[in-house]
């Protein structure tokens, strides 16, 4: 048991004090190891914590990704309390249906009290990069309708400045080369996500080497390029609450 936990700690060795890595050290204590949570444990903890934001008798919006998947699995346990969900991707819709949760078309819903989703990067003022899973456009649409955006993420997603994670941009296929040239003029290095088609039939350009000091401005500028459907910056519609998994448990951050 101790050994299994120790193996997990080894995998995270950059994050822990040197003394814990020394097997021969008699002071190696299980008590200390227990304070470390793996990334997956952090994701599960925030998925569980998000249940407190699910209102009874309502329809909620649900995002895409491994953290959102864990949330859907938790939601299944209380599915009788909600009237259904709007999904941000076909993958999410399928997972919801597998759990017996009704999936509604956004056009049949006038308002959503809450949207719950993960992020690839988030700052303390709640600006995000999303779209690592390629679902950014539907995520942005569902988030726009929702009154509250609850972001669920492990602590590795919290950054001071957005841009280390390549920024996904959804593009109409015939505009790919033109949009790539325009993005280069804005200072980014676009890479075509080969072999990937979005749920909307489009392609993704992942933009590297951006140091995003003004996310609202860049989000707007990218969306002005003809052929761009949308980009993965969620700055104009930022999160309202971040539930962040840490080694000590779930931290709640609001602006």
Does the annotation count 102 as an active-site position? no
Query: Where is 7: in which H helix or E strand?
Result: helix 2-11
Q: Counting contacts by CB under 6 A, is residue 66 touching ligand 5RP?
A: yes
- Tell me which stretch binds ligand 5RP (CB under 6 A): 54-62, 98-106, 116-124, 177-185: 116-124
Q: Does 231 bind ligand 5RP (CB under 6 A)?
A: no
**Sole binder of ligand 5RP in the list 96, 101, 122, 135 (CB under 6 A):** 135
206 binds ligand 5RP (CB under 6 A): no
Q: Applying CB under 6 A, does 133 fall inside the site for ligand 5RP?
A: yes
67 lies in the binding site for ligand 5RP (CB under 6 A): yes
Closer residue to ligand 5RP in complex, CB, 34/124:
124
CA nearest 45: which of 254, 249, 252? 249
> Considering only 71-79, 104-112, 132-140, 216-224, which stretch makes contact with ligand 5RP by CB under 6 A?
132-140
User: What's the min distance (Å) between Cβ of 130 and ligand 5RP?
Assistant: 3
Which residue number, 137 or 182, has a Cβ lying nearer to ligand 5RP? Answer: 137
CA–CA separation, 93 and 80 (whole Å): 17
Nearer to ligand 5RP, 131 or 215 (CB): 131
Should residue 166 be labelled a site residue for ligand 5RP when binding is judged by CB under 6 A? no
Task: Return the number of the residue (54 or 152) whose C-beta is nearest ligand 5RP.
Answer: 152
Residues in a beta bridge with 3: none
Backbone angles phi, psi at 206, to 5 degrees: -95, 120
User: Which position among 18, 27, 41, 139 bears the catalytic label?
Assistant: 139
Instruction: Please say which residue, 67 or 230, places its beta carbon nearer to ligand 5RP.
Output: 67
* Backbone torsions φ then ψ of 226, nearest 5 degrees: -60, 130
Number of residues in contact with ligand 5RP under rule CB under 6 A: 17
Query: Which residues lie near ligand 5RP (CB under 6 A)?
Result: 63-67, 117-120, 130-136, 139
The catalytic residues are 139
């Amino acid at each position: 048991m101790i050994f299994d936990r120790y193996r997990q700690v080894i995998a995270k060795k950059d994050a822990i004090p040197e003394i814990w890595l020394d097997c021969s050290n008699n002071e190696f204590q299980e008590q200390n190891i227990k304070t470390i949570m793996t990334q997956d444990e952090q994701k599960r903890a925030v998925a569980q914590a998000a249940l407190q934001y699910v209102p009874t008798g309502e329809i909620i919006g649900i995002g895409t990704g491994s953290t959102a998947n864990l949330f859907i699995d938790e939601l299944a346990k209380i599915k009788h309390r909600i009237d259904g969900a709007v999904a941000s991707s076909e993958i999410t819709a399928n997972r919801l249906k597998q759990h017996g949760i009704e999936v509604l078309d956004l056009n049949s819903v006038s308002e959503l009290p809450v949207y719950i989703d993960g992020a690839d990067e988030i700052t303390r003022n709640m600006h995000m990069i999303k779209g690592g899973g390629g679902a950014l456009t539907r995520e942005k649409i569902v988030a726009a309708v929702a009154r509250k955006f609850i972001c669920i993420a492990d602590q590795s997603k919290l950054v001071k400045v957005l841009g280390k994670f390549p920024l996904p941009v959804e593009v109409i296929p015939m505009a790919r080369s033109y949009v790539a040239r325009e993005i280069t003029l804005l200072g980014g290095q676009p890479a075509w996500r080969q072999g990937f088609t979005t749920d909307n039939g489009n392609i993704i350009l992942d933009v590297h080497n951006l140091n995003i000091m003004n996310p609202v401005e860049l989000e707007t500028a990218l969306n002005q390029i003809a052929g761009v459907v949308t980009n993965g910056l969620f700055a104009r519609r930022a999160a309202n609450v971040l539930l962040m998994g840490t080694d000590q448990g779930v931290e709640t951050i609001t602006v």
